Amino acid sequence: MRKKIVVGNWKMNTSVEEAINLLVDINQFIEDEIAIVCVPFTHIVTSIELAKNNLSVGAQNVSEYEDGAYTGEVSARMLKSIGVDYTIVGHSERRQFFYETNETIAKKINQLLKEKVTPIFCCGEPLNERETENHLKYVENQLEQSLFHLSKEEVQNVMIAYEPIWAIGTGKTASPKEAQNVHAHIRNLLSQKYGENTAHEITILYGGSVKPENAKELFECEDIDGALVGGASLKAESFTDIILAL
């Protein structure tokens, strides 16, 4: 179901002790607002114990395999067994540094859906694709190869995060108009593939240098349902200011 939501992506930051302090601070600021923090694997159990109200704890990655001899991997079933309901998949850093392909990401989404964990599927173009005005096609291809094998029922359990790579961690944000344009395109593609009603039920988040100063104008756009926040989610005050801007 479509949700207005802010998701924090802590990436490979914080010790468990720092995470506890951050969560205690976030808890103080929020009341009934719905938010998710995607923390490192090592922090999940402690974070779930600490998170209160409508704060959920998610993971940042999952194995494409079900179980077996895959040293160092964490399966969807393992995540589910400790109470994880959301997991980021296909983040551009995983594509860039760990060579994840659209096909691998499709398999990860399948594993998560099998365990009823909501995938937060990331897509978005690098700078050269934006500069050559190929960004819509680029994102379309990512959706086709990682998502469009899903049935209508399955796709409704996926959240999408559009994150232009040139805006991640760079301080450069897509303007609300640029972001809305891609979000509308994504919703339109979903509509063509699954029908208008289904397309309107899917949450599409924007990510890439979202901060308290730019959150509100992004959230005012028709097809932007919230944000996936990296840097600004590591400070309780900026993260909660973004949540409160929804």
H-type helices in 41-175, by residue range? 44-50, 76-81, 92-97, 102-114, 127-131, 135-146, 152-155
Could you tell me the smallest distance in angstroms from the CB atom of residue 193 to ligand PGA?
A: 25
Shortest Å distance, C-beta 138 to ligand PGA: 17
Q: Residue 62 or 228: which CB sits closer to ligand PGA?
A: 228
For the question of residue 163 being annotated catalytic, the response is yes
CB of 100 to ligand PGA, least distance (A): 14
Q: Which of residues 109 and 210 has its CB atom nearest to ligand PGA in the complex? A: 210
Q: Which residues of 110-136 are buried (b: 16+ CB within 10 A; e: fewer)?
A: bbbbebebbbbbbbbbeeebbeeeebb
Binding site for ligand PGA (CB under 6 A): 9, 163, 168-169, 207-210, 228-232
Q: Out of 91, 135, 183, 185, which one is annotated catalytic?
A: 91
Q: Of 166 and 194, which CB lies nearer to ligand PGA in the complex structure?
A: 166
User: Active site includes 185?
Assistant: no
Residue 62 tokens read as 């999952």
Return the number of the residue (143 or 210) whose C-beta is nearest ligand PGA.
210
Shortest separation between residue 106's beta carbon and ligand PGA, angstroms:
20
Catalytic residues: 91, 163
